[in-house]
Amino acid sequence: MFRQVFPIEELAKANPNEAHLFLSELENMGKDIVVITQNIDGLHQKSGSQNVLELHGTLFSATCPKCKTVYSLPREEEVPRCTRERPKGVCGSILKPDVVLFGDPVQHFPEAVERIQHADLFVAIGTSLEVSPANALPLYAQGKKVLINRDETPMDHHFDLVIRGAIRDAISGIKGKLTSRH
């Protein structure tokens, strides 16, 4: 059941898309980039981004709820358990993936708000902006705000620029504009 609910092995095979790679390229060019994501797939890190705030956690680690030992995932067991030695033997508790489940607090939210408040530019890419509290993040931005999304969102009117269409096409156009200036 654990592997059906959390398909870690399948996610580990996934590759970053154009948006992931573009953000990583900007960071490699020396831009002060912080990626704030609701995704739990680790693709931003896989693309090379170093400064990533995962609001909903990651599927690639799990924590023992009893002794708080953190483990890397995936592991071989069908149901991963804590192997930490304790005074009365092995802990043995079932590990909880480090993802936000219903009722759990969102991770890194205060840090995300702080970074957004001081950013020159806030860009939201591929999001419905319907999941709370992350949908409120654009409201904290003091700088220019850009939304790149295929569909309309309830927050469109809060953005200075809305680019409607496929993310791949939008990123390609932005890259073209940036490289033609140099």
The 10s digit of each residue's pLDDT in 28-77 is 988 889 999 999 999 999 999 999 999 999 988 999 999 999 999 877 77
Q: Which residue ranges form the domains of the chain, and what is each CATH number? A: 16-56+105-180 (3.40.50.1220)
Whether 64 has a binding-site annotation, put simply, is yes
Active site residues: 56
| Angle made by CA atoms 91, 92, 94, in degrees to the nearest 5 | 125
Whether 155 has a binding-site annotation, put simply, is no
Whether 19 has a binding-site annotation, put simply, is no
3-state DSSP assignment of residue 144: strand
What is the predicted pLDDT for the residue at 4? 64
Q: Which of 134, 8, 15 is nearest to 59 (CA)?
A: 8
3-state DSSP assignment of residue 83: coil
